[in-house]
Amino acid sequence: MTADGRTIAFLVGPEGIEQAELTEPWKAVADAGGTPRLISKDSGEVQAFEHLTPADRFPVDVTLDAASADDFDALVLPGGVANGDQVRTFPGAVKLVQEFAAAGKPIAVICHGGWVLVEAGVVDGRRLTSWPSLQTDYRNAGATWVDEEVVVDDGPFTLISSRKPDDLPAFNRELLAALG
Distances (CA, A) of 157 to 61, 73, 97, 99, 100: 25, 12, 11, 11, 8
Q: Strand 127-128 to strand 144-145: parallel, antiparallel, or no bridges (unpaired)?
A: parallel
Q: What confidence score (pLDDT) does residue 31 get?
A: 96
Q: What confidence score (pLDDT) does residue 139 get?
A: 98
Q: What confidence score (pLDDT) does residue 81 get?
A: 95
- Model confidence at 162, pLDDT cuts 50, 70, 90, reads very high
Q: CA–CA separation, 123 vs 101, rounded Å?
A: 10
Catalytic residue among 12, 28, 39, 111: 111
pLDDT single digits (tens) 121-161: 999 999 999 999 999 999 999 999 999 999 999 999 999 99
Report the percent of the chain where pLDDT is more than 70. 99
Query: Is residue 100 annotated as a catalytic residue, yes or no?
Result: no
Q: Give me the residue spans of the domains in the chain.
A: 5-176
DSSP code per residue over 109-167: EEGGGGHHHHHHT--TT-EE---GGGHHHHHHTT-EE---SEEEEESSSEEEEE-SGGG
- Model confidence at 1, pLDDT cuts 50, 70, 90, reads low
Query: Is residue 111 annotated as a catalytic residue, yes or no?
Result: yes
pLDDT single digits (tens) 72-130: 999 999 999 999 999 999 999 999 999 999 999 999 999 999 999 999 999 999 999 99
- Model confidence at 57, pLDDT cuts 50, 70, 90, reads very high
Give the H or E element holding residue 17: strand 15-18
Q: CA–CA separation, 163 vs 79, rounded Å?
A: 9
- Model confidence at 4, pLDDT cuts 50, 70, 90, reads confident
- The CATH code belonging to domain 5-176 is 3.40.50.880
CA R_g for the chain? 14
Give the H or E element holding residue 159: strand 158-162
- Model confidence at 7, pLDDT cuts 50, 70, 90, reads very high
Contact (Cβ atoms closer than 8 angstroms) between residue 101 and residue 120? yes
Catalytic residue among 6, 88, 105, 112: 112
